[in-house]
Amino acid sequence: MSKPRVIPGFGLSLGFTVTYLSLIILIPLAALFVKAGGLGPAEWWRILSAPRVLAAAKLTFGASAAAATVSAVVGLLVTWVLVRYRFPGRRVLDAMVDLPFALPTAVAGITLTSIYAPNGWIGQYLAGWGIQGAYSPFGVFIALTFIGFPFVVRTVQPVMEDLGPELEEAAATLGAGRWTVFWRVILPALLPAIITGFTLAFARAIGEYGSVIFISGNLPMKTEILPLLIVSQLEQYKYRDAAVIAAGMLMVSFALLFLINLLQRRLNWHKR
């Protein structure tokens, strides 16, 4: 005899969930691979090994990883300030973290471009140091950091709020210094949440389009990202080429996210 479930209607709920996920995720992904599957392995290799595709992939994944890493470090610092300290304007600062979620990506891209352009508020000072903000790979990094930063803060914040200062105080009473408390007590407890935030920021950055196309300059072999290259192939009616690039991008992204999630599970297992 099966045990009664806490939430009734399991069959109906499961059916609705599978149907919804199929319509939104599984069927479109299947259609993508069916479209790309019409080409043989040789054609796949020809498309994916093209210098333009490799350059776009290097910039996309490299800038996304760098932006997610910076977001993880800075996001941890911002979360620490928001959770551990009380000061005037804290709620306003906390609300500002969500602005990249609410702001349209195209608006964010235009704003960042105007600020980091050679004659912009920040770009003019960077130019004095020989650093090009907009229309460069560094501009792509800036845009990806902007859109990925909130994921880290909102992932780490509830974990840090539940952590409380009691563990820090107990470690301090046992003679541990501040850095020892951070590295041995705080960081291990926050590390799974930090990795989750990094993963979300990394995944978001890989597929970002709107905020990047303005600040990057879209120069082939230099500042062109994979999403823009896919759109370019579609505009030229090269649907199968676009499908192959998208499928290859999806497989690489899935493999990277799988490895990150595997690392997170191992950390959670060792923590237990």
Q: Domains, the chain, ranges and CATH? A: 52-83+90-271 (1.10.3720.10)
Mean pLDDT, the chain, whole residue set: 85
Question: Which residue do the tokens 């959770």 mark?
Answer: 83
Taking only the tens place, the pLDDT of each residue in 119-130 is 888 988 888 888
pLDDT computed for residue 253 by the predictor: 83
d(CA 50, CA 232): 15
**pLDDT of 269 higher than 80:** no
Q: Is the pLDDT of residue 2 over 60?
A: no
More confident residue, 50 or 261: 50
Which is more confidently placed, 266 or 79?
Answer: 79
> If you average pLDDT over residues 164-187, what whole number do you get?
73
Q: Would you say residue 58 has pLDDT above 90?
A: yes
Chain position carrying tokens 């905020």 = 211
Residue 22 has a pLDDT of 85
Would you place residue 62 in the very low, low, confident or very high pLDDT band (cuts 50, 70, 90)?
A: very high
Task: Answer whether residue 95 shows pLDDT above 80.
Answer: yes
| Backbone dihedral region for residue 89 (phi beyond 0: left; psi -120 to 50: alpha; all else: beta) | left
Q: Which residue has the tokens 């370019």?
A: 232
CA distance 153 to 194: 9
CB 199 within 8 A of CB 260: yes
Give residue 60's pLDDT: 93
Name the percent of the chain lying above pLDDT 70.
91
Rounded to 5 degrees, what are φ and ψ at 225?
Answer: -100, 165
Say if residue 144's pLDDT is above 80. Answer: yes
* pLDDT tier for residue 8 given thresholds of 50, 70 and 90: low
Is pLDDT at 18 greater than 80 in this prediction?
yes
Tokens of 127: 């130019």
pLDDT tens string 207-231 = 888 889 889 888 888 999 999 999 9
231-242 residue pLDDT tens: 989 888 888 888
Rounded to 10 degrees, the C-alpha dihedral 28/33/35/40 comes to 180
pTM of the model: 0.84
pLDDT at residue 143 tops 90 = yes
Structure-model confidence comparison of residues 264 and 55, the more confident one: 55
Which pLDDT score, from 0 to 100, does residue 156 have? 92
- pLDDT of residue 140 exceeding 90, the answer is yes
Q: Which two tokens stand for residue 271?
A: 């923590």
> Using CA atoms, how far apart are residues 176 and 183, in angstroms rounded to an integer?
11
